């Protein structure tokens, strides 16, 4: 079957958001007098927010709930979205694929508010048919659940979908769901195709199709 739809990861693929994710985490830790300076800055790259909480909750007061902690992080992220940077070629590629008739959606390991903040910043809500966030599924990447949900919502077979991912957890999720995997700026991923520029995606979709 030919490729009919492209499913995009967001963080690290469409937007360079890791600096803002880290700043949001550091701001919340400072608010509650929690020191995480012993952890490398890259500790939680590719880790969903629940995974971050599970790793850090023992450092916070027992009466702090995960929902309250997460709300503080989401608030900071939304209020400082000017720190985000759109990945080179992302918007041109999205609009080019749309013009060629490829359906598109976002599949993210971030929560709903962060996903919506990112998509608003990108200005592509009218192009993507929908987005899947951590709040929409029973399990986060690397489980195939997010991509299986996206396939079901799109109404296509796995062989008709292509996923663009930059992390190991995302790659494992997409491959477990049966999608063609394009690895972005990560030659170490066991992908079907590897790219350094998002603008390469248009020809890849055509060649696979």
In tens, the pLDDT along 141-164 reads: 999 999 999 999 999 999 999 999
CB-count exposure of residue 162 (10 Å: 0-12, 13-18, 19+): buried
| HSE of 98, CA atoms in CB hemisphere, 13 A | 14
Q: Kindly list the domain boundaries of the chain, sorted by start residue.
A: 5-16+86-208, 18-82
Question: Buried b / exposed e across 2-29, counting CB within 10 Å, b at 16+?
Answer: ebbbbbbbbbbbbbbbeebbeebbebbb
Predicted confidence (pLDDT) at residue 133 exceeds the cutoff of 80: yes
Predicted confidence (pLDDT) at residue 41 exceeds the cutoff of 90: no
pLDDT 10s digits, 85-130: 999 999 999 999 999 999 999 999 999 999 999 999 999 988 999 9
Would the pTM of this model clear 0.85, i.e. be above it? yes
> Helix 145-154 crosses helix 168-176 at what angle (to 10 degrees)?
50
3-state secondary structure of 163: strand
Residues 6 or more apart in contact with residue 184 via CB below 8 angstroms: 12, 13, 164, 165, 166, 195, 196, 198
Q: Which two tokens stand for residue 110?
A: 């971030």
Q: What is 5-16+86-208's CATH number, 3.90.550.10, 3.40.50.1000, 3.20.20.70, 2.102.10.10?
A: 3.40.50.1000
Predicted confidence (pLDDT) at residue 209 exceeds the cutoff of 80: no
Q: Which residue has the tokens 């503080």?
A: 72
pLDDT 10s digits, 46-71: 788 888 999 999 999 999 999 999 99
């Amino acid at each position: 079957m030919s490729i009919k739809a492209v499913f995009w990861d967001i963080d690290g693929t469409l937007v360079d958001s890791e600096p803002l994710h880290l700043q949001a985490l550091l701001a919340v830790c400072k608010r509650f007098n929690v020191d995480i300076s012993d952890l490398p800055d890259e500790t939680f790259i590719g880790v969903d927010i629940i995974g971050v909480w599970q790793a850090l909750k023992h450092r916070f007061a027992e009466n702090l709930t995960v929902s309250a902690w997460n709300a503080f992080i989401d608030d900071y992220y939304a209020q400082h979205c000017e720190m985000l940077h759109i990945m080179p070629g992302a918007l041109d590629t999205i609009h080019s694929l749309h013009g060629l008739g490829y359906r598109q959606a976002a599949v993210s390991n971030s929560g709903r508010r962060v996903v919506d903040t990112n998509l608003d910043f990108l200005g592509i809500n009218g192009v993507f048919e929908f987005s899947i966030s951590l709040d929409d599924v029973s399990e986060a990447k690397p489980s195939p659940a997010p991509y299986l949900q996206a396939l079901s919502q799109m109404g296509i077979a796995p062989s008709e979908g292509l996923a663009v991912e930059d992390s190991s957890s995302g790659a494992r999720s997409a491959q477990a769901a049966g999608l063609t995997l394009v690895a972005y700026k990560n030659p170490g991923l066991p992908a079907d195709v590897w790219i350094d520029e998002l603008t390469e995606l248009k020809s890849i979709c055509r060649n696979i199709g």
